[in-house]
Amino acid sequence: MIEKYAEFVGEESLDSLFRIAQKLHGISVLHVNSTKEGGGVAEILNKMVPLMRELGLNVEWKVIRGDGEFFRVTKSFHNSLQGQSTWLPQGAFETYDKWQTINASELNTDYDVVFVHDPQPAGLINFKRRGRWIWRCHIDISSPYPPTWEFLKRRIEKYDAAIISVPIFGREDLSVPQFVVPPSIDPLSIKNRKIHSVTAERVLRKFGLDTDRPIITQISRFDYAKDPVGVIRTYKMLKRHVDVQLAYVGSPASDDPEGEEVYRKTVAEAGDDSDIHLLMLPPNSDLEINAFQSGSDVVMQKSVREGFGLTVSEALWKGKAVIGGNTGGIPLQVVNNVTGYLVNTPEEAAHYALYLLRWRQVAERLGANGREHVRQNFLLPRHIRDYLMVMTYVLGVR
């Protein structure tokens, strides 16, 4: 299977991947996160784990469990670490530690290397028995709420290394080695393969879109960090100039109890405008997501906080210019006026969306640049290679 990626990254790149993997042949590796589906972490692990096995590593993936209270706590951690909110539920730290103890008693973490993804399972380090442990942080921790960060930092300091997605997320107050590894997309997945325009149009029509009129799309969870209300305000400003339609396409995630509340507020902001399509699709609606990105005239990711934003690379890979929030990992992908436009407000987003709708040749040029930018930097083989390199470091393999 892995040889199929040579079409995109070249034989030489795959050769280097195999050479590094040979040094790690036979080691046991565990990935731990908080959900099997919904969101970029689960999506990446679904593709990465079988490929790492194909490279000769014994790789497993396990998911922690928790009740509603636990996931309300971890969502508040998530928001406060990203600087959005300082609200924490009463007894938050005690609830967090209780579920770390429960999960530690149920999960076997006896592996040579353990990747713990994000804050939700980070406290498992207190129950480490052996191996090298790596904390993989997928969110923006550059300006966290101090009490939450201090609580988490005491656990992160026990890891052998930490991985962040963007250099600006690096922490001077962490003593453990920190590596920068941006996430990636899988060009062979149903979500990212090239599909026929007829297929894209069929899916868009199925969800009520008129393919004869311009469509702007954002693919995101219903999450305050993704600014769904700002997206609708952008659309309303744009609508004064162009007969455009908006598709905001999300899906539920079991570790995000806030999603329903954000969805209700977004619906209220949309009002009764029949050209606003707020869709909550089941997880793994990969063909549908592909169709929305491929069939749209402009793709947005107007986040106000963002760890990376895989949907940006997904859209760029399909040759779409992207209007992205100037935050987190989005500027790694959206190079201003090269692969899209970075914005800070709905007004800026509406301005550039109108520009791209009126100047189609510019949109095509930026989209072509974007696909090449993703090919060089944000495809799955590079991501796996970087993880292997971090493993060689923590294991002392030469």
Q: What is the pLDDT of residues 72-106, one digit of tens each?
A: 999 999 989 988 777 789 999 999 999 999 999 99
Give residue-wise pLDDT tens across range 100-112. Answer: 999 999 999 999 9
The region that residue 309 occupies, defined by phi over 0 for left and psi between -120 and 50 for alpha, beta otherwise, is: left
Predicted TM-score (pTM) of this structure: 0.92
CA–CA gap between residue 34 and residue 43 (Å, rounded): 12
Closest CA to 115 of 397, 398, 386, 396: 386
* Tokens found for residue 376: 């060089």
Structure letter (DSSP) for residue 379: B
Residues of the chain within CATH 3.40.50.2000 domain(s) are: 2-184+379-395, 197-377
Paired tokens of 216: 């702007």
Residue with token string 């590593």: 57
Residue 260 burial by Cβ neighbours in a 10 Å radius (0-12, 13-18, 19+): exposed
CA distance 191 to 203: 13
Architecture of domain 2-184+379-395: 3-Layer(aba) Sandwich (3.40)
Asked if residues 104 and 127 have their Cβ atoms less than 8 Å apart, the reply is: yes
Strand-by-strand arrangement of the 276-280 sheet: 276-280, 245-250, 215-219, 298-301, 322-325, 340-343
Residue with tokens 């210019």: 321
- Spelled out in words, what is the top-level CATH class assigned to the domain 197-377? alpha beta
Q: In what order do the strands lie in the sheet with 132-136?
A: 58-63, 28-33, 113-117, 132-136, 161-164, 178-180
**pLDDT tens digit at each of 398 positions of the chain:** 899 999 999 999 999 999 999 999 999 999 999 988 877 899 899 999 999 999 999 999 999 999 999 999 999 999 899 887 777 899 999 999 999 999 999 999 999 999 999 999 999 999 999 999 999 999 999 999 999 999 999 999 999 999 999 999 999 999 999 999 999 999 999 999 999 999 999 999 999 999 999 999 999 989 999 999 999 999 999 999 999 999 999 976 666 677 788 999 999 999 999 999 999 998 889 999 999 999 999 999 999 999 999 999 999 999 999 999 999 999 999 999 999 999 999 999 999 999 999 999 999 999 999 999 999 999 999 999 999 999 999 999 98
